[in-house]
DNA sequence: TAAGACTTGTCATTATTTGACAAATTTAAA
DNA sequence: TTTAAATTTGTCAAATAATGACAAGTCTTA
């Protein structure tokens, strides 16, 4: 795994956009998105729609898998934040995810 | 923290219901919910609506805070599972949650 | 085999998210 | 400053997702 950003996904997009010297309008057009809405996304007032990840990856020549990791960790991080989930509880959540995986496995074998 | 269940929230409700020898119909009535939908909840085909946690706590004489922990860890566990988030990525997600907390703090002071 | 318990499917209703556009406000160059 | 581009904010209709309700099915078990 390459190092992931300790920022929100919106801030990450802004970073990419600035590095590539694009305006909101220019990037929004490439993403087939309204520039006003892209502004809200960068400012954390809306979520980036997952279906646009492939486009975003192409525009900035990023690996889709890494971009998706960036996205997923942002989403779960947001979930953790919004529910005030402590580290301790997060461990429980991870165990429960593991439990769901075993449930799914046993379903497969039937 | 008392020990939390390594089950889904639906399975946990079913456990509570069976311990207390209630039928789906009986518990559903207490929760002001359709028994068919409660069945789906117990079987993981629908989510339990968070707004009913206080009722659920009263019915089974549980502490709301602990029940909420059970609920939150289930929801985040589900999120982790559904996004195939690895332990490694989960650490990143936790860092991002932490980052959001600092963002929020600095917002407060302004 | 009948009654109660539970499950599944469907659909209208409700809530949430997204897209779109107008109208600010901010920024920065002239 | 003034002005044009860039960005932000507000609003609302449309799309999407979640929930409630009910009918009809299957599964126990007495």
Domain count, chain B: 1
The answer to whether residue A29 sits within a structural domain is yes
- pTM for the full predicted model: 0.94
Containing structural domain, residue B30: 9-84
User: What are the tokens at B81?
Assistant: 């599972």
pLDDT of B110 above 60: no
The answer to whether residue B53 sits within a structural domain is yes
The answer to whether residue A18 sits within a structural domain is yes
The answer to whether residue A72 sits within a structural domain is yes
- CB of A68 closer than 8 Å to CB of B85: no
- CB of A73 closer than 8 Å to CB of B85: yes
The answer to whether residue A109 sits within a structural domain is no
* pLDDT tens string B26-43: 999 999 999 999 999 999
Give me the CATH number covering residue A41: 1.10.260.40
Task: Check residue B95 and give its pLDDT.
Answer: 97
Work out if B33's Cβ lies within 7 angstroms of strand D.
yes
pLDDT tens digits, chain A, 110 residues: what are they?
Answer: 566 778 999 999 999 999 999 999 999 999 999 999 999 999 999 999 999 999 999 999 999 999 999 999 999 999 999 999 999 999 999 999 999 999 888 776 65
Q: Annotate B3-21 with DSSP letters as a single string.
A: PPPSS-HHHHHHHHHHHTT
Q: Which nt has its C1' nearest the CA of B51?
A: D19
The answer to whether residue A38 sits within a structural domain is yes
Q: Annotate A31-98 with DSSP letters as a single string.
A: TT--HHHHHHHHTTSSPPPGGGHHHHHHHTT--HHHHHHHHHHHHHHHHHHHTT--HHHHHHHHHHHH
- CB of A41 closer than 8 Å to CB of A48: yes
Work out if B37's Cβ lies within 7 angstroms of strand D.
yes
The answer to whether residue A96 sits within a structural domain is no
Looking at chain B, the whole-number percentage of residues with pLDDT higher than 90 is: 87
Interface contacts A/B by beta carbons within 8 Å: 118
| Chain A stretch 56-75, residues whose beta carbon is closer than 8 A to a beta carbon of chain B | 69, 72-75
The answer to whether residue A100 sits within a structural domain is no
- CB of B8 closer than 8 Å to CB of B74: yes
């Amino acid at each position: 795994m390459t190092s992931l950003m300790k920022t929100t996904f919106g801030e990450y997009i802004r970073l990419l956009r600035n590095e590539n010297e694009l305006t909101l309008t220019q990037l929004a057009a490439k993403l087939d998105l309204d520039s006003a809405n892209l502004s809200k996304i960068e400012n954390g007032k809306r979520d980036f729609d997952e279906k646009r990840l492939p486009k975003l990856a192409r525009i900035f020549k990023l690996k889709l898998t890494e971009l998706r990791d960036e996205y997923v960790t942002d989403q779960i991080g947001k979930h953790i934040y919004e529910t005030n989930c402590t580290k301790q509880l997060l461990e429980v959540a991870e165990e429960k995810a593991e439990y769901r995986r075993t449930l799914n496995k046993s379903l497969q074998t039937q």
